[in-house]
């Protein structure tokens, strides 16, 4: 299953085909402007997925606050709108019991935290957790991208355009910065056999140029587009990824 341009789909990567099983509840004109971005499975097995402007729109008009954060219920595939008028949904996480929800809107440069009630399916008490402009005052656009959160409440957050992953706690105290030989840092994952690895995805500088020829053997200059592994000095108490609870 993949989150695609118009909704949730079954994908066959060998045949390079997708078949939609659910479409987001938007009109045709809006659907053409949007695509899926980052998402997460919550502790109860439901899918949360954010949409944003698709590439042809962003090239012409930039990113507009037309996005939506949806919750897709695993039991009946019903769709609930959780947040509207978003820009770039990224970096989602729950705490261990699911009572706290963390969500990144990259162009606000902020990670937002909410209280979450799974009985009512409602978010409340929205407030900023960390604003990357305070962490990177010298940067014009320090965009928080994908993140991981440990069971200890420690975040490992990729910051697009900075060459850095930052580690910070639930009090927004920055504990460490991991420097990579790539500018566009996109997401993180925690794990490894001994629970002491940080995996980091990056984007190539020419990602937006669809007709460009990229040589993966070229190790000169910016090394975006590679997957990196960082060996950490201690175990991180990583949280297991939740699984989709539907069929």
Residue 198 is predicted with a pLDDT of: 98
71 has binding-site annotation: no
Q: Are 79 and 24 in contact (CB under 8 A)?
A: yes
The full set of domains in the chain, from first to last, is: 88-239 (2.120.10.30)
| Greatest CA separation for the chain | 53
End-to-end CA gap in the chain? 11
Instruction: Give residue 171's pLDDT.
Output: 96
Is this structure's pTM higher than 0.85?
A: yes
Query: Does residue 169 have a known ligand-binding role?
Result: no
Which listed residue (28, 145, 195, 215) is catalytic? 145
68 C-beta neighbours (distance < 10 Å), count: 21
Q: Does the annotation place 35 within a ligand binding site?
A: yes
Q: 22-44 b/e with 16+ CB inside 10 Å = b?
A: bebebeeeebebbbbbbbbbbbe
Active site residue 54: no
Q: Rounded to whole angstroms, how far apart are CA atoms 49 and 35?
A: 10
* Ordered per-residue pLDDT tens for the chain, 247 residues: 899 999 999 999 999 999 999 999 999 999 999 999 999 999 999 999 999 999 999 999 999 999 999 999 999 999 999 999 999 999 999 999 999 999 999 999 999 999 999 999 999 999 999 999 999 999 999 999 999 999 999 999 999 999 999 999 999 999 999 999 999 999 999 999 999 999 999 999 987 787 888 888 988 999 999 999 999 999 999 998 999 999 8
């Amino acid at each position: 299953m993949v989150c695609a341009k118009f909704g949730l789909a079954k994908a066959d990567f060998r045949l390079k085909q997708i078949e939609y099983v659910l479409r987001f509840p938007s009109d045709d004109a809006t659907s053409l402007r949007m695509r899926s971005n980052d998402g997460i499975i919550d502790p109860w097995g439901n899918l949360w997925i954010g949409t944003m402007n698709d590439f042809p729109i962003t090239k012409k008009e930039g990113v507009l606050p037309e996005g939506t954060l949806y919750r897709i219920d695993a039991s009946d595939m019903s769709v609930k709108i959780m947040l509207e008028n978003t820009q770039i949904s990224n970096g989602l996480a729950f705490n261990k019991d699911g009572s706290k929800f963390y969500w990144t809107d990259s162009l606000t440069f902020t990670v937002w935290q909410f209280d979450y009630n799974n009985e009512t399916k409602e978010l409340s008490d929205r407030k900023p957790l960390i604003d990357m402009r305070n962490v990177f005052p010298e940067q014009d656009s320090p965009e928080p991208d994908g993140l991981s959160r440990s069971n200890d409440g420690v975040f490992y957050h990729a910051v697009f355009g900075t060459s850095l992953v930052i580690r910070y706690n639930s009090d927004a105290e920055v504990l460490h910065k991991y420097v990579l030989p790539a500018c566009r840092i996109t997401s993180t994952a925690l794990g490894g056999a001994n629970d002491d690895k940080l995996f980091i995805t990056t984007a190539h500088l020419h990602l937006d140029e669809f007709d460009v020829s990229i040589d993966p053997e070229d190790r000169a200059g910016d090394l975006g587009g590679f997957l990196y592994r960082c060996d950490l000095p201690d175990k991180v108490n990583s949280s297991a990824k939740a699984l989709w609870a539907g069929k």
